[in-house]
Amino acid sequence: MAVKRNELVRRRRALGFTQESLAEQLGVERSTVRRWEAGGSSPLPFIRPRLAGLLRVGAEELEDLLTAVSSTAFRRTERVSYALRHPSGVDLIVAAELRSEMENLTDRYDVEPSATLLAEAAQQLDKTAFLADGAPVGRVQRELRALQADAATLMGQLIWDVSQRRDHTSARAYYAQSLELARHLRHHATEGHALLRTCYVALYGANDHRQGLELALQAARVARKTSHALTGLALLHAAEAHAFLGEASQCERALLGAERRLERSDGTDAAHELFTPTHFGRLAGSCYLTLGKFDKAQQFLQDTAACMQGRRKSRAIVLGNLVLAAIRRGDLEAALVVFNDAIDELRGTRGGGGMNIVFRAARELRPWRAENAVQEAQDRLMALMEAA
């Protein structure tokens, strides 16, 4: 079976693809391709036809290769099951396999409804915490505690998304758990990520923009010596907090600082997997929308939406903001085209952030509610909610 897996790698290389270039063509992260080839996860159904086309194989041949990889993953699952029965014998191999499972869940977040991932993520957190409690003191236990912190952050993220960004208390409780573990481990990237997620709750849920700004800046300070990517992301959200507060010049300075940090991030960054090339345009567009610079916002958001592949929840947020920019510019025709695109993205994921923004756009379309096209768009949104 290992030979089959190598054949998958050789096929990619024979066609001149690196893991990174193949990931770019498919609109996924490099780490996702790496896990496919290592057996940690499998491509989602809608990606498989494109993957087969790029590798110039038929659907059946691709399925054979992926099945071979899955058999390797099954043996890994057996090792985890054994460790759960004998936690004192857990080792770094099991910790690495749990990390691969966790990364698979994280990859699926942006393309699947959070409700479908919640039980699996809760199980991941529980078994990681159980194994960490029973693990021998030292490197193995530290690895498991770090994974437990990441799993707690993901649980907070999922619960907040499932609640349409309303259950602030549960999300904050999971982020607090992650913070406690990260500080105990002196793991600054994990601490910064948990702080940044807590910032999101303040900024986009509780609408406490001053607290959101403080949390974003705190995350940037914590991550400053550890991760350019995480520092840049924190500064992007600090910029948006400044925009919400009407502080245009501070917003511009934070955007400039974020851009400089993100340009310095590379694959060795401790939080590189949190950053995508579309992050800057997404947040800059949102900032300029809030500041009333609609033409500038539209340019950033259009360019960003065109580049986003495989990140459906994030793309729905961008499209929602693009609808708002078009409405506020008085371009109803453009607003309706993008509004319908946003609903199409939400149909498969029902992401809380995208839902909230699209509903805000629907409210701003009320002055044109007598228009047939507006009524039809509103009906599509209601049908989406009923299906949920």
The predicted-structure confidence for 54-79, as pLDDT tens digits, reads as follows 989 998 888 877 776 555 555 557 88
Question: Which of 37-51, 73-87, 209-223, 312-326 holds the top average pLDDT?
Answer: 209-223
Q: Does the structure show a pLDDT above 50 at 90?
A: yes
Tally the residues of the chain: 388
What is the reported pTM?
Answer: 0.80
Give the residue-averaged pLDDT of 224-229.
94
What does the pLDDT look like over 250-281, one tens digit per residue? 999 999 999 999 999 987 888 988 888 899 99
- Rounded to 10 deg, the angle between the 168-185 and 188-200 helix axes is 170
Would you state the pLDDT for residue 75?
A: 55
Does residue 1 register a pLDDT over 50? Answer: no
Q: Average pLDDT for residues 109-117, to the nearest whole number?
A: 87
Residue 2 has pLDDT above 50, yes or no: no
Confidence of residue 195 (pLDDT cuts 50, 70, 90): very high
Predicted pLDDT at 70: 54
**pLDDT band of 37, cuts 50, 70, 90:** confident
pLDDT higher than 70, residue 40: no
Predicted confidence at residue 104, as pLDDT, reads 81
Q: CA nearest 274: which of 315, 231, 319?
A: 231
Sign of the Cα pseudo-torsion (354, 357, 360, 366, in order): negative
